[in-house]
Amino acid sequence: MDKFTSHTGIGVPLRRSNVDTDQIIPAVYLKRVTRSGFEDGLFAAWRNDPDFVLNNPAYAAGSVLVAGPDFGTGSSREHAVWALQNYGFRAVISPRFADIFRGNSGKSGLVAAQVDEKVVQRIWAVLEENPGATVTVDLESQTVRAGEGVDAVEDSFDIDPYTRWRLLEGLDDIGITLGHDADIAAYEAERPRWKPVTQRA
Amino acid sequence: MGKAGARTLVEKVWDEHVVRSAEGEPDLLYIDLHLLHEVTSPQAFDGLRLAGRRVRRPDLTLATEDHNVPTVDWDKPIADPVSRTQVETLRKNAEEFGVRLHPLGDIEQGIVHVVGPQLGLTQPGMTIVCGDSHTSTHGAFGAIAFGIGTSEVEHVLATQTLPQAKPKTMAVTVNGSLPEGVTAKDLVLTLITHAGTGGGQGYIVEYRGQAIRELSMEARMTVCNMSIEWGAKAGLIAPDETTFAYIEGRPEAPQGEDWDAAVAHWRTLVTDEDAEFDREIVLDASEMTPFVTWGTNPGQGAPLGASVPSPDEFEEPDDKVAAEKALAYMGLEAGTPLREVKVDTVFVGSCTNGRIEDLRVAAEVLKGRQVAPDTRLLVVPGSVRVRLQAEEEGLDAVFKEAGAEWRGAGCSMCLGMNPDQLAPGERSASTSNRNFEGRQGKGGRTHLVSVPVAAATAIRGTLSSPADLEPATAGAR
Ligand code: SF4
């Protein structure tokens, strides 16, 4: 996984709450067996609407999505994270993320930055007044920044410290856990014998 | 303050699975059972292959085909080439990595959350994960069960563990008894509308209280299944005699001395009297009525006897906007009595309500009655075993005589990955768990309902409960 320290890119104001993963990528797009190519399904239903934000050329090359609360609810599909990444997003800012989505983001290297709802409102205002303006998500200082002058927004965001550390270091979770193999083996040796198995030796 | 050392059920199960804990790091949890299906696993197996890793515990892993599979002509090759590739990829991966698979055509095939409990693999006090958010279903047995993403699937395949930050705990206490005709589905839909779709965020929930204790295992699964729909990481119910009776004698249940040892341990899996939860919600079951959704998330619901709400009724500006958008998408007018909403398709099935008990309830309502002329009723059993059991009981005949389509096992119209989909603008009453825009087919409009409401709706053609029906025709079987 690549290290993530700070990213500055065009901000996309998505004025919606409860953006579930069926909206991020509908089920019919989930049939690939690879991790790439899911950008075609990103917000597929909404992209048919000419007024949808990503259909505005000023936002089309966006890489920081700024959404309302409860982003990523619903299905556990990690394809939602891949679709955002395949499209070009590096970070999502929202006042509240669904747990599984947040977890999936952390594993795949998409930063899910949780900020106060008022901060989202202010960033939306900046991005809508200046389409194509950039937003910075700085993982090192844990801050988001947007806009200039009196409208400038700068605030800290929440992300769990362990995920932040892994993203900053670009570390693969499985490698870390395999380093604890002795602990796992010790635990396995103590498991009760009546625990079910799916196949017997 | 709670007594020192007093723990909740969730804490007990969690603590039993901690392989390693360190300051500033998530706990490393051991996973007792890992369930797989074709949609969220291919990239995980690919990751293993690329890194030259193996599946650490194939004997704690089980795969089934459910999301993509057709519910007609299941003995023929899958028509859609992309679905077929995904299913074939799972078959290849299961073979290569030594994972037990129940493919289409196998007697144990079915929706992953129906298959686990049915085989007796789902047991109290376990940790169970699956690349599917409705893994919370298995919490009905007193297991910590939750959905994970594909990277985590790969992690569990490689290590049989998962790093997890300990969530907060919440009690949902449902006092009183459910009135006649009001089901577990109504209970959980009421709860979600009450708590909001983000209300459970960051919590593992324990459902308790008289109404929960009185539920059958199937009904408990319906409640736990929908934990994720209000954002909870998992939802569980303390195991009791109902739980033990359900498990005993199933193919993978412990036997003899092992059974006794297991039950002795399972009896300790209750929240200590002095234990404290981080949050509690209290509801009264005796006030509940049949409950349906009118919007595009499971928290937008109302009693069947109510009318479509007006966006002005909502205080939060966000909720107002969400309601406006939902009504526009759903093609509904504020103020229309829900009972007058005309439905094109009724879907009985899914991991929420596709079990044998659900089909019995549907058949009871449909017996001697006819599906309305302009309405289509699809009955899709959750597993092959459920299908065979229903056929043995003659339920299939009741469905067919009523004019319903009797199908093969799978997820089907719950998410419309196979050909069972709504057409744009088509309206459904569905016993599944998600009414998101386009969930059951592009432009499709979904009302989430209980099984009796689904069956009654199929007969009247508008959202209804069995209480709205004329008596069944005389001479009916
Ligand atoms: S029935 Fe629906 S909710 Fe359940 S596993 Fe299948 S797609 Fe998911």
Give me the residue label for tokens 């040796």: A189
Q: Does A150 touch chain B (CB under 8 A)?
A: no
Distances in whole angstroms, Cα of residue B393 to Cα of each of B219, B396, B400, B473? 20, 8, 14, 21
Contact in structure between B436 and B419 (CB atoms under 8 Å): no
Residues of A in contact with B436 (CB under 8 A): 20, 22-23, 74
Q: Decide if A70 and B231 are in contact by the 8 Å CB cutoff.
A: yes
Question: Radius of gyration (Cα) for chain B, nearest Å?
Answer: 22
The mean pLDDT value for B137-160 works out to 97
Atom number, ligand 1, closest to the C-alpha of residue B382: 1
Q: Does B323 touch chain A (CB under 8 A)?
A: no
pLDDT of B26 above 60:
yes
At B195, is the pLDDT very low, low, confident or very high (cuts 50, 70, 90)? very high
Cβ of A103: how many Cβ atoms within 10 Å?
A: 29
Is A187 among the domain residues?
no
Chain segment B362-395, per-residue pLDDT in tens: 999 999 999 999 999 999 999 999 999 999 999 9
Give me the residue label for tokens 């205002």: A125
Contact in structure between B130 and B36 (CB atoms under 8 Å): yes
Rounded Cα distance between B477 and B474, Å, is: 9
How close is the nearest chain B Cα to the Cα of A77, in Å?
6
Q: Where in chain B is the domain with CATH 3.30.499.10?
A: 9-279, 306-468
Cα B273 off chain centre by: 29
At B3, is the pLDDT very low, low, confident or very high (cuts 50, 70, 90)? low
Q: Enter the tokens of residue B327.
A: 């009504």
Task: Name which of B254, B241, B141 is nearest A193 in CA terms.
Answer: B254
Task: Name which of B306, B291, B304, B295 is nearest B186 in CA terms.
Answer: B291
Q: How far is the CA of A19 from the centre of ligand 1 (A)?
A: 19
Q: Decide if B40 and A77 are in contact by the 8 Å CB cutoff.
A: yes
- Of B14-18, B43-47, B53-57, least confident by mean pLDDT is B43-47
Instruction: Please report the pLDDT score of residue B475 as a whole number.
Output: 45
Q: Enter the tokens of residue A102.
A: 């947040």
pLDDT of B477 above 60:
no
How close is the nearest chain A Cα to the Cα of B50, in Å?
13
Contact in structure between B427 and B342 (CB atoms under 8 Å): yes
Q: How far is the CA of A62 from the centre of ligand 1 (A)?
A: 33
Q: How far is the CA of B414 from the centre of ligand 1 (A)?
A: 6
Instruction: Please report the pLDDT score of residue B1 as a whole number.
Output: 43
Ligand-binding site membership of B224 (annotated):
no
**Prediction pTM value:** 0.90
Q: Does B241 touch chain A (CB under 8 A)?
A: no
Is A92 among the domain residues?
yes
Rounded Cα distance between B275 and B2, Å, is: 5
Whether the CA torsion B165, B236, B32, B241 is positive or negative: it is positive
Rounded Cα distance between A104 and B453, Å, is: 36
At B476, is the pLDDT very low, low, confident or very high (cuts 50, 70, 90)? very low
Please name the amino acid found at residue B266: W
Please name the amino acid found at residue A84: L
Whether the CA torsion B269, B274, B280, B286 is positive or negative: it is positive
Is A49 among the domain residues?
yes
Q: Is B373 exposed, middle or buried (0-12, 13-18, 19+ CB in 10 A)?
A: exposed
- Please count the structural domains in chain A: 1
Give residue A117's domain range.
Answer: 6-171
Residues of B in contact with A197 (CB under 8 A): 59-60, 252
Beta-sheet strands, E only, within A52-100? 64-67, 91-94
DSSP state of A27: G
Write down the mean pLDDT value for chain B: 95
Tens-digit pLDDT string for chain A (201 aa): 778 999 999 999 999 999 999 999 998 888 788 888 899 999 999 999 999 999 999 999 999 999 999 999 988 889 999 999 999 999 999 999 999 899 999 988 999 999 999 999 999 999 999 999 999 999 999 999 999 988 899 999 999 999 999 999 988 889 899 999 999 999 999 999 999 999 987
State the CATH number of the domain containing residue A95: 3.20.19.10
Q: What is the DSSP string of A24-79?
A: HS-GGGTT-SSSS-GGGGTTHHHHTSTTSGGGSTTTTT--EEEE-SSBTBS---TH
ipTM: 0.93
Q: Does A30 touch chain B (CB under 8 A)?
A: yes
Contact in structure between B339 and B305 (CB atoms under 8 Å): yes
For B:336-365, CB contacts with A below 8 A are none
Is A186 among the domain residues?
no
pLDDT of B2 above 60:
no
Is A125 among the domain residues?
yes
pLDDT of B75 above 50:
yes
Is A132 among the domain residues?
yes
Rounded Cα distance between B135 and B145, Å, is: 6
Chain segment B314-327, per-residue pLDDT in tens: 998 889 999 999 99
Contact in structure between B234 and B206 (CB atoms under 8 Å): no
Q: Name the CATH topology of B306-468.
A: Aconitase; domain 3 (3.30.499)
Is A70 among the domain residues?
yes
CATH of domain B9-279: 3.30.499.10
Please name the amino acid found at residue B447: H
